[in-house]
Amino acid sequence: MNKFFHPKSIVVAGASADKDKVSNNIIANLLEMRFGGKIFPIGRNGGEVYGYRIYRSLTEIPQTADLIVIMVPAVGVPDLLEDAGKAGIDRAVIISDGFNESGAEGIRLAEQIKQIASRYSIRFIGPNCQGVICLESGVCVPFAPLFRHQVKKGGVSIITQSGSIGWIAATSLSHEMDGISKVASIGNKLDVDELELLRYLIEDPETKIIVLHLEGFSDGRKLFEYTRSSKKPIIILKSNISGKTSQIALSHTAALASDDRVSDAAMGQAGMLRAGSLREMLEMCKALTLPILNGRNVAVMAGSGGLALIGEDSVLRQGLGMAKLPEDLLRKIAQMGTWKRLNITNPVDLGGFFNNLDILDAVESVLSQREVSGATLSLFRTKEYDSPLTCAELVDQIEGVCKRHAKPIALHFVSDFFPWLK
Amino acid sequence: MNKFFHPKSIVVAGASADKDKVSNNIIANLLEMRFGGKIFPIGRNGGEVYGYRIYRSLTEIPQTADLIVIMVPAVGVPDLLEDAGKAGIDRAVIISDGFNESGAEGIRLAEQIKQIASRYSIRFIGPNCQGVICLESGVCVPFAPLFRHQVKKGGVSIITQSGSIGWIAATSLSHEMDGISKVASIGNKLDVDELELLRYLIEDPETKIIVLHLEGFSDGRKLFEYTRSSKKPIIILKSNISGKTSQIALSHTAALASDDRVSDAAMGQAGMLRAGSLREMLEMCKALTLPILNGRNVAVMAGSGGLALIGEDSVLRQGLGMAKLPEDLLRKIAQMGTWKRLNITNPVDLGGFFNNLDILDAVESVLSQREVSGATLSLFRTKEYDSPLTCAELVDQIEGVCKRHAKPIALHFVSDFFPWLK
C-alpha cells in the first residue's frame, strides 16, 4: 500500500493541452501540494500542460513509473491498464467512472480491468473514485481542486467510499483541529478495499486516528477483527442504512433498517466509534486528540447560568457525574469576576468574568483539583469577552492547561458573528 | 402582560453618572433599540447619564410611569418597590439577583417583595433575570448589551429562565432566519411565570412561533393544557434534567433522569416540540418557517454521491420515504450538469453542476412533481460553486421555489470557509 502514498513518479493519463479539462486538476493538485517526484502527463492529443510535455502514450515515457492515475472515459481504461502492465507499472488509481456502477456495458468493462490487473499483477484503487492524498509526500490525485491553505498535516487518516466526504473531512479536520495525514477514496473498490488500507493505516506511523466512511462492507467479519487488533481509535461513518447494492434498487425501509441495527451492534462490539453524522465524526476526531478522561467526575464551567445548567445536563446524559469542588476554591473563584457571585458551585457560573485571564485562572484552578477528571467550558465569544487575550490566544492557553494536567476540556463558544453568507 | 412589552414610559432604577456601571446598559439598550416612550433614570447619587437627568428618587419624577426596571443591590429592592406602588406604577422588571436563589437572607427579601407587590397590585417579572425585549416597541431592558445589527424583527418569541439563552436565541434567530418578536427572561419567576406569558404570546398577533427555555415547570399540567390549545407551534428547550431545585442540591443521576423521562413524555403528549440542544432548537424554528410536508415522499438532491446517500439515510431515519421520480425528468437532469451522468435516480446526484442556475432549474423541476412532498438539498459552497448567482442569491431563489410550490426544502451547505478565529 505504501507505494500508493509514496510513489517517486506518477503518470497522469487523461491530460490535455486544454487547461480547463477537469482531469488536469490532478496535475494542478500535485503541483499545489509540492509533490517531490516526477510527473508524466499522457493524453492522446499531446501538447503541453503546466509546462509539462504531454506524452501521447505510455510507451513514449522515458522510464517506468511507480503509479499511474487514470482519468479517461471508461472504454479507454482497459487499453491503458494493459500498457501500464507492459511498462512495468504495478500501481494504478482509476478515477474514471462508468464501470460496475452503471449498467451492463460498465459491468463488462469492470470485469475486463480486473482481469488485466490480475494478469500483470497491478494493484489498483477505484474505479469511480478520487484516489489518494498524502500530505507527507505531496501526492494528491483527486480531480477536485485542493489548495494548500485548505489542508494541513496532522494525524487523522481517512478511508472513504465517497471522494467528496474525503474532501470535507480533510478540509474540516485541517481547519478545526490538527489536520490530516492521508486520504484514500476507494470508490467501487474493485481491487484495493478498506481492509487492506485499514491494515496499512494501523501500522502507519504518521496516522494516529483512522476515519472510515463506508457505504457497504467488503467483509464485515475481517473489518471487525482488524479493528479489535488496532491500538488506534477507528471512527466509522457508515452511510447507506438502507443497504442498497445499486443506486437503482428501491429501498424497503423496515427490513433494511434492521440490517443497519445488526451492523451497528457489530461495529460497537468491535470497538468502532460510530458517528451518526459528518459533524459528529469531526467532533469525535477532536475529542480523541484530548487527554483521556481518567475518571467520571466532570467540572462544568460556563459564561452564564443557563449554559452551565445545559452543560450539566450533557454530562449527566453521557452517564458521567459532577465533580465535587472544595469550598475554598469556589470562594476564590467567586471573588474573581467583575461581579462578585456568592453562590458558586459545580456547575461553575463564570458570568461576570470579563477579563479572560480570570477565566483562564479559574479553569486552571478547577482542573488542578485531584477529584476533577475533566471539564467543559462554554463561553461567549463577543467583543466584550475578547480581552486581554484574543479568542485564538485563549484557546491556545486552554489547550496548554489541558496538556499540563493531562485532562480533557470540551470547549464551546457562543458567538454573535455569523459570516457565512458574506 | 401587554404593558410589559408596550410601556409608554420606563423608570430605570440603578442608573449612575459613572457610565461604566453595568446597570446603565439598560438605558443604552433602550436608546439603541429606539424605544419611543419616555425614560426616567433614577439613582441615589443623581447626576446625568446619556444626556438624561438622573432623579434621586421616584418621588422626584414628574409623572407616573408604566414600568419600572430595577437593578440595584437586592437589599434596596423592597423600598423601591414600595415607592413604585405609592407612585402608581404597577409593572416592574426586577433584574437584581440575591433573592431566593441565594440563602436565608435572600429568601427573606424574596418574601418581602412578594408581599409589597401584592399590597400595591404590582405585577413583576424576575428577580434575577434580564427582563423583556420587544422589537415592535423598542423595549429592551437586559443589562447585557444588545445592538441593532445583532437582531431583527420576525415571528419568534422566547420565554426563558436564562437571560443568556434568550440572548443567544435572539441573535442566532435573527442571523439565521427571519428574526424575533419578543423575549421574556423570567429568572426566579416569583410573580409572572411562563404560563401567563405563554397565554399572552399565544394571542399575540406578532408571534408566530413560541420558544420556551425552562429549567423547571411552574405548573406542568396547566402548561400542557395551554400548549394543547395553541394553534402556534411551541418549542421547548428543557434543561436541568436532574431536576435540581437549588444550585446546591446534589444530583442523584438515575432517579432524576427518570423524572426527565416523565416530563419528556408529557411534553410530547401536549404537542410540544422538544429540542435536545440549543442548535436543535434553532433548526426547529427554521424548519417551522417552511411550508408543511404534505406527504411522506422526499426527493434528496446533493452536490455529490456521498452526500446524496447520507441525505437518503436521514430521510429513512425520520421514517419518511424516497419519492419516485419520472424517468424523463431524470434524463433531463442528467443532461444538465457539466459532466453528463447517466445514472441519476432519487437521491439525485448533482455532482458536476458548476453553474448554480442549473442547480436551481433541477430543484424547480423536482419540486414541481406531484409525487414529491418536499426535498433536501446539500451543496458545496466553495468558490467554484458560487456562480453565476452568489450563495446568498441562490438561497433567496431556492426560498422562492419553496414558496411557489408550497413544499419544504431543507438546505445544507458544505463550505471551506472557516472564519471563527479571525
Pick the CATH number of B293-415 from 3.90.650.10, 3.40.50.720, 1.10.645.10, 3.40.50.261: 3.40.50.261
Q: Output the CA–CA distances (angstroms, integers) from residue A379 to A28, A178, A360, A385, in the order listed.
A: 42, 22, 12, 8
Q: Quick check: A151 pLDDT over 60?
A: yes
Min mean pLDDT across A236-245, B36-45, B202-211 is at: A236-245
Q: Quick check: B248 pLDDT over 80?
A: no
Mean pLDDT of A194-203: 97
Q: Quick check: A202 pLDDT over 50?
A: yes
pLDDT at B384: 67
Cβ distance A164 to B417 less than 8 Å, yes or no, reads no
Min mean pLDDT across A249-258, A286-295, B29-38 is at: A249-258
Across chain A, what does the average pLDDT equal?
91
Domain B147-289 CATH class label? alpha beta
Q: What is the DSSP letter of A323?
A: P
pLDDT at B17: 96
Cβ distance A309 to B215 less than 8 Å, yes or no, reads yes
Cβ distance B251 to A312 less than 8 Å, yes or no, reads yes
Cβ distance A163 to B313 less than 8 Å, yes or no, reads no
pLDDT at B242: 78
pLDDT at A250: 38
Picking from B212, B237, B304 by the largest number of A CB atoms within 10 A of its own CB, the best residue to mutate is B304
Could you give the percent of chain B with pLDDT greater than 90? 77
Contacts of B251 in chain A (CB under 8 A): 312, 316, 322
Find, in chain A, the residue whose alpha carbon is nearest to that of B392.
Answer: A421
Cβ distance A305 to B242 less than 8 Å, yes or no, reads no
CA distance B208 to chain A (A): 24
Q: Quick check: A369 pLDDT over 70?
A: yes
Mean pLDDT of B199-220: 95
Grid coordinates representing B176 are 439565521
Per-residue pLDDT band for A354 (boundaries 50, 70, 90) equals confident
pLDDT at A258: 58
Grid coordinates representing A348 are 461553575
Name the one residue in this structure whose C-alpha cell is 438622573: B54
Query: How do strand A38-42 and strand A9-13 relate by DSSP bridges?
Result: parallel
Cβ distance A313 to B239 less than 8 Å, yes or no, reads yes
pLDDT: is A191 or A176 the higher one? A191
CB of A108 closer than 8 Å to CB of A84: no
Min mean pLDDT across A191-200, A252-261, A289-298, A363-372 is at: A252-261
Question: pLDDT of A227-278, one tens digit each?
Answer: 999 999 999 999 988 777 544 333 334 444 557 888 888 899 999 999 999 9
Cβ distance B162 to A351 less than 8 Å, yes or no, reads no
Contacts of B256 in chain A (CB under 8 A): 316
Q: Output the CA–CA distances (angstroms, integers) from residue B244 to A400, B3, B111, B253, B260, in the order listed.
A: 34, 33, 21, 11, 11
Min mean pLDDT across A41-45, A101-105, B154-158, B201-205 is at: A101-105
Cβ distance B316 to A162 less than 8 Å, yes or no, reads no
CB of B135 closer than 8 Å to CB of B179: yes
What are the boundaries of each domain within chain A?
1-127, 147-289, 292-415
Contacts of B240 in chain A (CB under 8 A): 309, 312-313
Give the per-residue SS3 of chain B. Answer: CHHHHCCCEEEEECCCCCCCCHHHHHHHHHHHCCCCCEEEEECCCCCEECCEECECCHHHCCCCCCEEEECCCHHHHHHHHHHHHHCCCCEEEECCCCCCCCHHHHHHHHHHHHHHHHHCCCEEECCCCCEEEECCCCEECCCCCCCHHHCCEEEEEEEECCHHHHHHHHHHHHHHCCCEEEEEECCCCCCCCHHHHHHHHHHCCCCCEEEEEECCCCCHHHHHHHHHHCCCCEEEEECCCCCCCCCCCCCCHHHHHHHHHHHHHHHHHCCCEECCCHHHHHHHHHHHCCCCCCCCEEEEEECCHHHHHHHHHHHHHCCCEECCCCHHHHHHHHCCCCCCCCCCCCCEECCCCCCHHHHHHHHHHHHCCCCCCEEEEEEEECHHHCCCCCHHHHHHHHHHHHHHHCCCEEEEEEECCCCCCC
Q: Quick check: B387 pLDDT over 90?
A: no
Cβ distance A305 to B176 less than 8 Å, yes or no, reads no
Residues 6+ apart with CB under 8 A from B37: B7, B8, B9, B10, B66, B137
| Amino acid in the structure at residue A83 | D
Per-residue pLDDT band for A341 (boundaries 50, 70, 90) equals low
Helices (H) and strands (E) counted in chain A, each on its own, are: 13, 19
Q: Output the CA–CA distances (angstroms, integers) from residue B313 to A247, B276, B305, in the order listed.
A: 13, 20, 12
Question: pLDDT of B277-294, one tens digit each?
Answer: 999 999 999 999 999 999
Strand, coil or helix: A117? helix
Find, in chain A, the residue whose alpha carbon is nearest to that of B341.
Answer: A98
Contacts of A419 in chain B (CB under 8 A): 417, 419
pLDDT at B193: 95
pLDDT: is A384 or B153 the higher one? B153
Find, in chain B, the residue whose alpha carbon is nearest to that of A252.
Answer: B321
Q: Quick check: B363 pLDDT over 50?
A: yes
Mean pLDDT of B85-102: 94
Q: What is the DSSP letter of A295?
A: S
Q: Quick check: A184 pLDDT over 70?
A: yes
Cβ distance B306 to A213 less than 8 Å, yes or no, reads yes
Mean pLDDT of A87-97: 97
CA distance B327 to chain A (A): 12
pLDDT at A171: 94
pLDDT: is A255 or A391 the higher one? A391
Contacts of B247 in chain A (CB under 8 A): 343, 345
Cβ distance A242 to B312 less than 8 Å, yes or no, reads yes
Picking from A173, A239, A327 by the largest number of B CB atoms within 10 A of its own CB, the best residue to mutate is A239
Cβ distance B163 to A321 less than 8 Å, yes or no, reads no
| Alpha helices, H only, A15-130 | 25-32, 77-86, 103-119
| A292-415: CATH superfamily | Succinyl-CoA synthetase domains (3.40.50.261)
- Domain formed by B1-127, architecture: 3-Layer(aba) Sandwich (3.40)
Contacts of B215 in chain A (CB under 8 A): 306, 309
Mean pLDDT of B22-41: 97
Mean pLDDT of B316-322: 92
Q: What is the DSSP letter of A193?
A: -
CA distance A212 to chain B (A): 13
Q: Quick check: B383 pLDDT over 80?
A: no
Domain pair B1-127 / B147-289, same fold? yes
